[in-house]
Amino acid sequence: MILPCIDLMDGKVVQLVQGREKALEGDSPEAMLAKFSAFPQIQVIDLDAAIGKGANDGLVEMLASKATIRAGGGVRTVERAEALLDQGAFKVIVGTAAFGPAGPNQGFLKNLIDAVGRDRVILALDSKDGRIVVKGWREATNFKAEDVIRQLEQYCSGFLCTYVDKEGMMQGTDLDWFRRLRAATDLEITAAGGITTLEDIRALDGMRIHCAVGMAIYTGKLDLAQLAWMTS
């Protein structure tokens, strides 16, 4: 499955490089929804919430009312996860709160799945320089995704794994990293970060890994019609 990405900042659809520098703005959220109408799911990330500078709840709710979305960004409490699901999200993406100083934050994760159900949770294993990064990719942990993924299976329906080193850079992704992740879990994996070509997508599909695609769509490097045909 191919998931187009809608990243929200200051009420606008944007694309960032490595979660920091804004590279471009997309069309309005409504226009992007229309462009992505042929895809079964859309990934929506509230970047303002991820870095703790407000939220775009009204836009997330509007998007969820018109499409099947996975929503994330700043989900650091059970209440925030419940709010996104109440706004209509199909699943909620959780990253920062899933980790503590010693490893997976099992107390929080147990409370989360008790409240919303394991099948509604996707855990984000976003990695840079080989380590999981949190708080909008601004802080590094001491953990490698491939080392903790098995411990986290009981708390989610799948994983969003972003190769931050190449996020937004249009330079391809690290297929070897995704092979290691695929070997470490049988749960659903969605890949993101640097996916640039049809060859990237086909290689990941061959590993039974979904693709969340942003910059390559927004710049026209990948053709929406062809991607929609591939995912149908």
Is 7 considered catalytic here? yes
Which listed residue (27, 46, 48, 126) is catalytic? Answer: 126
β-pairing verdict for 21-25 and 2-9? unpaired
Which listed residue (7, 46, 48, 200) is catalytic? Answer: 7
- Residue partners of 48: CB distance under 8 A and separation at least 6: 8, 9, 10, 54, 55, 56, 73, 74
Which uninterrupted H or E stretch holds 23? strand 21-25
Selection from 51, 43, 130, 213 nearest residue 226 by Cα: 213
DSSP string, 75-96: --SHHHHHHHHHTT-SEEEE-G
Is 57 considered catalytic here? no
Q: Calculate the alpha carbon distances from 49 to 37, 148, 164, 211 in Å.
A: 25, 25, 18, 23
Catalytic residue list: 7, 126
